[in-house]
Amino acid sequence: MADSVIDTDSTFEISVIVPTFNGESRLPDLFKSFQKFIIPPSFRWEIIVIDNNSGDRTADVVRSWQDSWTTCPLRYGFEPCQGAAYARWKGIDLAQGRYVIFVDDDNVLAPHWITAAWKFAQTHPNAGAIAGPVVGDYETPPPENFEQIEKFLAVRDYPDYDNQPCLFAPQNLQLPPSAALLVDRLRWLNSVPRQQLLTGKTPQFLLQGDDYEPLLYLHKHGWEIWFNPELVSYHKIPQWRLTQKYLTQLARGCGLATYALRLINAPRSQHRYLAFKTSLGSLKRLLVKGIEWAIASGALKRVIAIEIVFLWGTFESPIFYHRKIRKKSPPQIVEAKMQQQYKAGD
């Protein structure tokens, strides 16, 4: 199925971009949720599904919905390079909206999300990106104390923000996931490098940080990252994503990306200091968590074990960066090497 094209003179207020990998079973529910959006008739928007080298019937599903879709332009794009970062860039290139909304194929936006985000962007002219709370929609109830680690599944409540609009703190890596995120397309194009250090998890390697990296570059160029409590979305989480094995791999991938992310807004003179600070800080927290794990039991012990894996990955992240990420050229080759290294370490 070829990439959908549209008249280059056409413009939209919003382009909704849906990166998907093997989304055949998830896309229908997502499209149904789009039909529930509360949008004025005069509002111009489009939807672009980016097929990230799927091996199922994703393209056929999109085609079948295109045949009867009347809500707005529904387009299809194909990105052969595996990884969400590549899929997002493909969507940015195809989009013709002033703003882009990234939506994961297992996320559902509240019906007013698009218009509320658009209005918020109009009143915050320095915003580079805007996000809101992400509520976990679990297929089965998560174990007790799971709220301590649900951030690894892109579930975010932000209680410290007291349900008020406020700025995220990129300097502390306090940033939203890209599961439901509005970005200024022109500011993205002028701020975010096309070859990111972190390209996203693949079926073989769950390296994280790919959604934080563009936001850190937006911040580096002076644009603000905003939290808006009105922008509620729901992340559908199947039972298999609650398994200890999957969560362990995910937490490790988050930890390994830490040092690379911290370098983005740091001057070169601070790189060695940041490496020392990252590893030493993680080591201190590891000692505390190790004591907590020793006296815990049941579900809490398993939750703390996931936190320990994350901290150990953070401790390793400076070495991982210099050995595997820094030499990234071309990206596909290095990602394959990372996959081999990870498998060898299992």
Task: Write out the two tokens for 92.
Answer: 């940015």
pLDDT value at 77 more than 70: yes
Task: Write out the two tokens for 46.
Answer: 């489009």
Report pLDDT for 325.
Answer: 79
Q: Transcribe 183-210 into DSSP letters.
A: EEHHHHHHHS-SS-S-----SS-----T
Stretch 172-176: mean pLDDT: 95
Report pLDDT for 244.
Answer: 96
Three-class SS state of 237: strand
Percent pLDDT > 70 in the chain is 90
Report pLDDT for 283.
Answer: 96
pLDDT tier at 332, thresholds 50, 70, 90: very low
The rounded distance, in Å, linking the Cα atoms of 337 and 34 is 39
Cβ(14)–Cβ(96) below 8 Å: no
Q: Using the 8-state DSSP alphabet, how is residue 323 labeled?
A: I
Report pLDDT for 327.
Answer: 63
pLDDT value at 66 more than 90: yes
Q: Which CATH class is domain 12-242?
A: alpha beta
Report pLDDT for 200.
Answer: 75
Does 330 sit behind a cis peptide bond, omega within 30 degrees of 0 on the bond before it? Answer: yes
Cβ(265)–Cβ(216) below 8 Å: yes
Stretch 78-92: mean pLDDT: 94
pLDDT value at 195 more than 70: yes
pLDDT tier at 221, thresholds 50, 70, 90: very high
Name the average pLDDT for the chain: 90
pLDDT, tens only, 7-24: 444 479 999 999 999 999
Own/partner pairs, 219-224, CB within 8 angstroms, 24+ separation? 219/128, 219/170, 219/171, 219/265, 220/191, 220/264, 220/265, 221/128, 221/187, 221/190, 221/191, 222/126, 223/126, 223/127, 223/128, 223/129, 223/184, 223/187, 223/191, 224/124, 224/126, 224/127, 224/128, 224/167
pLDDT tier at 324, thresholds 50, 70, 90: confident
pLDDT, tens only, 248-269: 999 999 999 999 999 999 999 9
The rounded distance, in Å, linking the Cα atoms of 249 and 201 is 10
pLDDT, tens only, 112-161: 999 999 999 999 999 999 999 999 999 999 999 999 999 999 999 998 89
Q: Using the 8-state DSSP alphabet, how is residue 324 labeled?
A: I
Stretch 288-299: mean pLDDT: 96
Report pLDDT for 336.
Answer: 40
The rounded distance, in Å, linking the Cα atoms of 184 and 98 is 7
pLDDT tier at 326, thresholds 50, 70, 90: confident
Report pLDDT for 7.
Answer: 46
Task: Write out the two tokens for 274.
Answer: 């940041």
CA-based end-to-end distance of the chain: 38
Task: Write out the two tokens for 99.
Answer: 């703003």
For the chain, residues classed under CATH 3.90.550.10 are 12-242
Residues 6+ apart with CB under 8 A from 296: 304
pLDDT tier at 3, thresholds 50, 70, 90: low
Task: Write out the two tokens for 55.
Answer: 């091996």
Task: Write out the two tokens for 213.
Answer: 């990296």
* Of residues 198 and 328, more confidently modeled: 198
Q: Using the 8-state DSSP alphabet, how is residue 5 labeled?
A: -
Closest C-alpha among 214, 150, 156, 155 to residue 182: 214
Handedness of CA 136, 140, 146, 152 (dihedral sign): negative
